[in-house]
Structure 1
Amino acid sequence: MTLSELNQRYAIGNHVQFKEIADGVIIAEIANQHAVANIALQGAHIATFQPRGEEPVIWLSPYAKFAPGKSIRGGVPICWPWFGPHKTDSKLPGHGYARTVPWEVLETQALPDGSTFLRFGLIESDATRAQWPHPSTVQLDVTVGKALRVELATSNTGKAAFELGEALHTYFHISDVAKMTIRGLENCEYLDKVQDFARFIQKDGIVIESEVDRVYVNTAADCVIEDKGLKRAIRIAKQGSKSTVVWNPWTEKADKMGDFGENGHRGMVCVESGNALENVVTVAPGETHKLVAIYSVEKL
């Protein structure tokens, strides 16, 4: 669908407009009484979300590259249909292909409470079917309001069950990593990818002072990012998720990635809602699995 066709069919006054921000890269710009947000059609990638009168909730690197087939540094990348490296084929892309392929707009709607609803569908191709041969449909529902609600729905349209790994790899905007504590994962088990997947139990709130890459398993709990610098907390509520991933690459790895900028890692932390490692989901024929995350701001 062309840019003109998208705007004719799915634009809603000043609330939803579609714009081409780079060659072949179209975004939906959302602006309502509650918040503003941008969503790239490539990957159905929520790039920004900022409630009115607040600092941004979602972090987007100022050096993020918007180009066909390239992942975007920041926002809400969709890891699907596997999380991390592919189980049997190391040549396939880490975290799956959903975040770098085109999605289509299926619906936009202005809701009675002033929020804005958008639905996207993953576009299948020969290339995607070669990586994921299981008949399925994938949709992302996004509601932009005082809170940001994200729902990733995977339907098994085939005749055999399949195993699904997934995550909403969300980057959150914080004042400084030294002024932040993550609550909600106390007493949870986690596998530490920095220490060769060694298993530990989280004793207290999470404070980050070096590279952190952990998969917390068997937890459906809310997480709260307490940010003393911004005097606020970001609440991450979730449904259909048994894993929470906490990630900050720290200085050396961020510098090597090239799209963080100097000390860029200090202004972000990833708290990812998903189903990974021992929490992968089995989706039976005819069933739909839904992963939901809701991001909201509270005063500290």
Structure 2
Amino acid sequence: MNALYIEELNQRFGQSDDKGQIRFKMGKGDIPVVEIENEQASALISCQGAHVLSWRPDGQEEVIWVSREARYAKGQSVRGGIPICWPWFGAHSENTSFPAHGFARTVLWEITEACQLDSGETQISFILNTSQLDDTTRKTWPESTSALYVLTIGHSLKLELITQNNGVKAICVGEALHTYFNVGDVSKTSVTGLHGKDYLDKPDGFKRKKQSGDIGIDAEVDRVYLNTTDELSITGPQRKIVISKQGSHSTIVWNPWKQVAEKMGDLGEGGYLNMLCVESGNAADDVVTIKPGESHTLQVVYRVENN
């Protein structure tokens, strides 16, 4: 990866006019990133993993949380932002030596389009084609598959992950957009919209339980909520983050709390108090089967409302 690659990206996709700016540069760890600015918002996205590192709507504080101790290196996922878990979620179902949450978040994605929309938003698209992966990675997922990731950045943040089965047999895909939200003080934050839903409680041996009321965070929480399609909200003292989704039947809620966070090494001192992951995807009972020649779209939209 060198300056010529960045120059090529800017020549093909870079823009700067009265509508906004799309600019590529070398980021931390010598990993290319794209900076996006328009009248509605700004964003920073790493080309490795098509990983959103920042989204800040106009007049709002940063919505996406990234650890101060995050490590930026080729082939490694960044702690924070919006990692893409694909084509499986969590540990691989048959081989636990394969990387947790798949490989999409640690490989370079190709940019296919970037433009300013008449709405004032900016849209950028990335693609990952498994046929172009190295041999080691392809051994973990030999299926002929592609993932198109379309991001629309403005007052809201719209994310579309489209999985296409290019092979001759059905595939089973697990996925999630593993979003770390900047919540300020997680102990004063609640998640609304999951009352009555069944969930798998990882810290308690994946026991199946039922949610009662809103979710508050005062200890480790690591749960996969099943059959969830309704709108959710993350509410803190100053603002509410509203999550709408389609093509997703799982919601993962995660905060490691103090003891687990201290063992992780890259969450930063006290970082767990400022972040909360509420992930939209398809995991556990909700994994997706895609027939040959067909596709599946996971769509999530985030918007911010002041309290």
Give your verdict on TM over 0.5.
yes
Alignment of 1:36-51 (within 5 A): 36-51=42-57
The offset of 1:24, in angstroms, is 3.3
The offset of 1:66, in angstroms, is 1.4
Aligned residue for 2:61, secondary structure, equals coil
- Alignment partner, residue 188 of structure 2: 179
The Cα offsets for residues 113-139 of structure 1, whole Å up to 9 and x where unpaired, read as 110000001153123321111111111
Which stretch has the larger CA shift, 7-16 or 82-91?
Answer: 7-16
Is 2:105 the counterpart of 1:99? yes
Is 2:257 the counterpart of 1:257? no
In the alignment of these two chains, the number of paired residues is: 298
The offset of 1:104, in angstroms, is 0.8
Q: Aligned to 2:284, which of 270, 277, 280?
A: 277
The Cα offsets for residues 208-250 of structure 1, whole Å up to 9 and x where unpaired, read as 110000000011011100111xx21000111100000000011
Q: Aligned to 1:2, which of 2, 5, 18?
A: 5
Which stretch has the larger CA shift, 125-134 or 202-211?
Answer: 125-134
- Alignment partner, residue 120 of structure 1: 126
Report the Cα distance in structure 1 between the residues aligned to 2:87 and 2:94, rounded to whole angstroms.
13
Is 2:216 the counterpart of 1:210? no
Report the Cα distance in structure 1 between the residues aligned to 2:29 and 2:203, rounded to whole angstroms.
37
Aligned residue for 2:191, secondary structure, equals strand
* Structure 1: runs of 5+ lacking an equivalent: none
Letter in 2 for 1:185: L
- Alignment partner, residue 77 of structure 2: 71
The Cα offsets for residues 118-169 of structure 1, whole Å up to 9 and x where unpaired, read as 0001153123321111111111000001000000000001110010000000
After the TM superposition, which parts of structure 1 deviate over 4 Å for at least 4 consecutive aligned residues?
none
Q: Aligned to 1:267, which of 267, 274, 280?
A: 274
Report the Cα distance in structure 2 between the residues aligned to 1:262 and 1:157, rounded to whole angstroms.
44
Is 2:15 the counterpart of 1:12? yes
Report the Cα distance in structure 2 between the residues aligned to 1:224 and 1:23, rounded to whole angstroms.
34
The offset of 1:23, in angstroms, is 4.3
Report the Cα distance in structure 2 between the residues aligned to 1:258 and 1:37, rounded to whole angstroms.
26
* Structure 2: runs of 5+ lacking an equivalent: none
- Alignment partner, residue 64 of structure 2: 58
